[in-house]
Amino acid sequence: MHIIVSQEIETVCPEFVGAAVEAQVVNTPYSQELWDEIHALEDRFRRPASEQLIRRMLQGKELYQIDTLVDLINLASIAYGYSIGGFDADKFVGDTLTLGVGREGEPYEGIGRGMLNIAGLPVYRDAEGGVGTPTSDHERTKMTLETTHLVVLINGYDGNEQRVAGNACFIQELLRKYAKSDGGTITLYR
């Protein structure tokens, strides 16, 4: 997978650094061991943040359980505070993703959210169109229990390459523990 950061992103966020984790995985409906780890993090990690998942925890609400891949990506996002997208890479059109800015009227169907207005938001696009934004990944490339080729994208708008890389290594560790994976490969990009 090739990832390009567009000039429009470089202009508004010159310090951006991202990481992609690409791996072969086995998804399952539920992992008790993963949820034990998530609950341990909840107990230790209650701090203000803008992430929707952390807000749920701060409100005393349980995180929603989807499947092992979604749950471990949520854990990685909570642990590091980055916006992270997880995708079934076999559903991408082409072998290149470009991070750009959403356009007015650009069609985008968020997972379980219907059509969304992504104008002005950062958006990853494949050859067919948008696949991921900070608010929702696209219905077309969502992970399912049949997903075996995973791509996870970590968005470091703070420019902290070391922390972004640490988040990617943490995802690899989770994939080894819970998704019968060798952890795959990490690619940093700017």
Per-residue pLDDT of the chain (190 residues; tens, 9 = 90+): 899 999 999 999 999 999 999 999 999 999 999 999 998 887 776 564 445 666 666 676 667 899 999 999 999 998 999 999 999 999 999 999 999 999 999 999 999 999 999 999 999 999 999 999 998 999 999 999 999 999 999 999 999 999 999 999 999 999 999 999 999 999 999 9
Q: Is the residue at 82 inside a domain?
A: yes
The domain that holds 174 is classified in CATH as 3.50.40.10
Contact indicator for 107, 115 with CB cutoff of 8 Å:
yes
Q: What is the pLDDT of residue 49?
A: 46
Q: Is 175 inside any structural domain?
A: yes
Cα torsion at 16, 21, 22, 23 (round to 10°)? -170
Closest CA to 180 of 28, 70, 11: 28
Residue 47: the pLDDT is 66
**Amino acid at the residue 53:** L
Q: Which domain holds residue 110?
A: 2-31+66-189
Given this model, what pLDDT does residue 43 score?
73
In a domain, 96, yes or no: yes
**Residue 40, domain member (yes or no):** no
CA gap 56, 61 in Å, rounded = 5
pLDDT of residue 45: 62
- Domain total of the chain: 1
Q: What was the pLDDT predicted at 164?
A: 98
Q: How far apart are CA 165 and CA 57, in angstroms?
A: 25
Q: What is the pTM of this model?
A: 0.92
**Residue 36 falls inside a structural domain:** no
Q: What is the pLDDT of residue 48?
A: 42
